[in-house]
Structures are given as structure tokens and as C-alpha cells.
Amino acid sequence: MANNSLILKKSEINLLRFSSHIKNNESEKIVEAIFSNKDIHVNQCSPDIENEIKTKKNEWLAISSNEWQPRKDKPIITNPSNDRTKWTRCSLCNTANKLEFYVVNKITKETINIGGTCSTNVVTGEMNELSKLIKNEIAGSRYVNILSEIPELRAVVFSPKQFINDLTYELPNLLEMNYQKDSSNVLKSLKKYLNDTGNEAVSKERLIKNLGIFDNTKNEINQFQNNAKNNKWSLSHEIKKSFQSQPNSDSIVSNIKFNNGRINKKIAQKINSVDFLRKYIKEAFNNNNRTLPVKIRKCSVGVIHFQYTNEFDSSYKFSIDSQIFIDTFGRIIFDNIDQPKRDLAKFFIENSNIISLSNIETKNNLLSSVKYSISDTKKYLVYDLYGSFSEKLDEWHYSKFELLINNWTVYREHESELLYLFRDEKKLISASLIMLFQMRYIQERTLSNLMKEAERISAKVLFNEIRSEVYK
């Protein structure tokens, strides 16, 4: 044979033969190859069969190993004779063994004997771990008894990570470390109890004590999971999967775990997955923002898309890098604290180069909307100034008041008493054209050009002027 490399050795083939998985789930050609050969080498089978065996070998051995469990009655027998010829041979490799480990197939109920070498090097999973714990007949008997008394012990010993993997939310680092430490202590105390040749009662008491500590930690974890449902900044495993393709995902998760399992503003800036931005940032901003004239409409990878509606119900759309947005408006998102319009105005002025907009008109309207309130006669002058009259105007005086200001347009800068008044509509149109077409200016300057066309006047002065005109 040109190439004598082994693909499946005798003990592995026998494990597959004794188990049900191959017979029930693989093709006739695979079954024939397994059952007609003592072992399988390279170039011994057809290329397609050989490739399939190479591909599925580890999967077959793992599934087949999982079919077996220790026999309830005397799972371990130590042969009393020192004569090797009287020892029972391993069902897998045919080697004589003084220590006989008997296992039962969960499906077929067939019993076989596995020696120490095969239990360590051939069988995987729980059976492999058991071979490290059980070293003699007494240990085997104690294992069967303690498992009957405490059935949950099997999960603690053989699949402690499965409990963590099945959780909904990421755990704080300290809590997960406590879980790992406590499960390790249970395993150590179990091994001590099974193989203790001294005081069995003491070692069993220590095992039960460590198991109690482990249960308390599990209860803390379950309590954390329940609380996490009501804390929107807990990291769900579903969202965790959404950003695991990011190069810095491990660092992000680590930071969250060290932050008591919670996402904060600094961490959020590093996450760019759509699911995260949609579930965490969009919902928080839209629900908490009560003053800014913008709402998040959708999210894409690393980008948040907005819509703002001005006082005349005109809508404009724009987009911002998610990291910059979270950094700027984190108070709204994380602390539920409103930010005044001047913060948004400052943001747009300072970051106009990174705001993605469809056209210059949108940018101008956006900037003017957040920096100035455009108040028409009905929205500002009538309801605000008219309300300043101490006496109620009769119908004739009110008609004079309304006629006087009917064609005026007033801008009011946020948190300022200064009004920008356009009495002449032509001036307003001219100034608006400056805003729209002088694209070489940055937005603050084009806005300033518009305001240069207006009369600057305080609300009090304007009211006195209106009052004198009304009662003239």
C-alpha cells in the first residue's frame, strides 16, 4: 500500500459498529465500509467514501460516544487476578484490562466493556470525562449512587458551559467567574468523594456543600436574567450575535461584562450592527426625545437615518455616523435627559461636513429649523403677542391687529428674546434665495445672510409698536 496513513483505527471502527448512529443515518456504502474493515487507511476505499469518512469522522465518534452511559450495577470492576491472561479484553481495541469499565447503550441496551486507553482516547464527551473521575470499583459504585441521589449533578459535571450558553443575556464578568469557579469546585469535590479511601462521609459533605454554593450562584444568575429583562441596556445574546463579525467584538463584549453586564454610552459608540442600533438607539432616542424636532426613521450598519419635521410640517431626511451621534446625544439616549435645540444647532453647524443630506436646500432648512423658530402670524404673533394685551380686543380692534401683521414673517432664535421680523415679503424671498444658492458659504454664514435682511426687534418693543398701531 503506497500510503499507510490511518483514517479510522480498529477501536474507532468498533465504537461505530456497536453504536446505532452509523447504521441508522448513513448510506449503505458507508455502513459497508465500516462493517467490512478492521481499520481504514488512505486509498483503501473509493475517493468519495474516503472523503466522506474524513469529513464526518469526528462527528460520528462524538454522536456514537453520547449513546453510552455507565452501567448502573457495578459500572467499574477491578479484576482480582494479577494474571494478565485472566483479564477481560476491551470491546473496542481487544486489549486486556485489569480495570473494566462497563457501559450500556441508551438505544439498544447492549453492554460493552471499555478499557482505560479507549475511554480516554476513543470515547468522547461524558464517557471520556467519567474515565478521569472513576478509578476503581468503589468509585463506580459511589458515582451511580450519588447520581441517583442528586440527578442534577450530571449537568454540573459534564456540561456546565451549556447553562451559560442557554442564557438570554450576557453575564457580568464577576458573576460568570464565580459560576466557573463553583462548578470547578463541585467537580473537584466529586472526584475526591468518588475516590476517597479515607472518610467517605466527610468528602460527601464537602461535595454537597460545594453543590449548595454552586446552586446559590445559579440563583444569582437567574435573578440577574430576570432583572435584565427590565433593563434595556442589558446585552442579549441575540444582539451579541449581530455584531460578532466586527473585528473588535471580543473587546466590546469584555467591556460590557466588566460594566456589570450593561451597555453604556462609551461602549455603544463601538457597536455598528443594524439590530443593535435599531433596538437600543432608535427606540431610546425616539422615546426619550421630547424637544428636538428629529426622529430616527431607520438604521443601517454604522449609520443612523433621521427625519425632521419643521413647523410647517415639511419633512427632511438626513444621515449621521452612529458613533458621532451617540457621542453627541448620549444624554437623551442613556440618561433620558432632554437637550435644548441649541445643542442640535451647534451639532449641525460644527459637523455639517459629516451629515449626509440629499441637497443644499435640505441642509439649510434643517439648520434654520433647529436654530430658529419660524413663527407666522397665527403661530407666534397672534397667540403670543395678542395674549399680552391686558384687555380683550373687540372685533374691530382685533381685525386691525390681524391686518397689521397678516403678511409678516417672524423668526425667533431659541432661548432668545430677539425677533427677526420680515415686513416685506420680497426681502424674505430674496434672502431665502441667498440661503438656497450661495452654496460656497458654510451653513451658519448663509443663515446669517438671511437674518441680515430682517429687522431685529425685541418682543416687548414689537408689542408696544403693535399696540400703538391698533389703538391709533
Adjacent-strand bridge partners of 9:
none
**Which pLDDT does position 370 carry in this prediction?**
56
End-to-end CA distance of the chain: 119
**Secondary structure (3-state) at 172:** coil
Residue 305, C-beta contacts closer than 8 angstroms, at least 6 positions apart: 296, 297, 298, 299, 317, 318, 319
Per-residue three-class SS string for the chain: CCCCCEEECHHHHHHHHHCCHHHHHCCHHHHHHHHCCCCEECCCCCHHHHHHHHHHHHHHHHHHHCCEEECCCCCEEECCCCCHHHCEECCCCCCEECEEEEEEECCCCCEEEECHHHHHHCCCHHHHHHHHHCCCHHHHHHHHHHHHHCCCHHHHHHCHHHHHHCCCECCCHHHHHHHHHHHHHHHHHHHHHHHCCCCHHHHHHHHHHHHHHHHHHHHHHHHHHHHHCCCCCECEHHHHHHCCCCCCHHHHHHHHHHCCCECCHHHHCCCCCHHHHHHHHHHHHHHHCCCCCEEEEEEECCEEEEEEECCCCCEEEEEEEHHHHHHHHHHHHHHCCCCCHHHHHHHHHHCHHHCEECCHHHHHHHHHHHHEEEECHHHHHHHHHHHHCCCCCCHHHHHHHHHHHCCCEEEEECCCCEEEEECCHHHHHHHHHHHHHCCCCCHHHHHHHHHHCCEEEEHHHHHHHHHHHHCC
Q: Measured between alpha carbons, how far is 161 from 155 in angstroms, rounded to an integer?
A: 9
Per-residue pLDDT, 346: 64
Q: At 308, phi and psi to the nearest 5?
A: -120, 145
Provide the residue-wise pLDDT of the chain in tens; the chain has 472 residues: 344 588 888 999 999 999 998 888 889 899 998 888 888 888 888 999 989 998 888 889 888 888 888 887 777 788 888 898 899 999 999 999 888 888 899 999 999 998 877 877 777 666 777 777 777 778 877 887 888 888 888 888 878 888 999 999 999 999 999 999 999 999 999 988 988 878 888 999 999 999 999 999 999 999 999 999 998 899 999 999 999 999 999 999 999 999 999 999 999 999 999 999 988 888 888 888 777 777 888 999 998 888 877 656 667 777 888 898 888 888 888 887 777 666 666 676 566 666 666 555 566 566 555 555 544 333 444 445 555 665 667 788 778 877 776 667 666 665 566 777 777 655 554 444 444 433 334 444 455 666 677 777 777 777 777 778 888 7
Q: How far is CA 159 from the centre of its chain?
A: 23
Contacts of 210 (CB under 8 A, 6+ apart): 182, 185, 186, 189
Rounded Cα gap, residues 302 and 269, in angstroms: 9
Residue-level pLDDT at 65? 85
Give CA 302 to chain center in angstroms: 15
Q: What angle do CA 340, 343, 347 make, to 5 degrees?
A: 150
* Assigned C-alpha cell, 127: 464517557
Helix (H, G, I), strand (E, B) or coil at 343: helix
Q: Which distant-in-sequence residues (6+ apart) come within 8 Å of 166 by Cβ?
A: none
pLDDT of residue 378: 37
What pLDDT, on a 0 to 100 scale, did the predictor assign at position 430? 47
Q: What's the CA gap between 449 and 437, in Å, rounded?
A: 12
Q: Is the pTM of this model over 0.75?
A: no
Give the list of residues 6+ apart from residue 267 with CB closer than 8 angstroms, or none. Answer: 252, 255, 256, 259
The span from the CA of 175 to the CA of 261, in Å, is 10
Spatial separation of the C-alpha atoms in residues 35 and 447, rounded to whole Å: 85
Q: How far apart are alpha carbons 70 and 123 in whole angstroms? A: 13
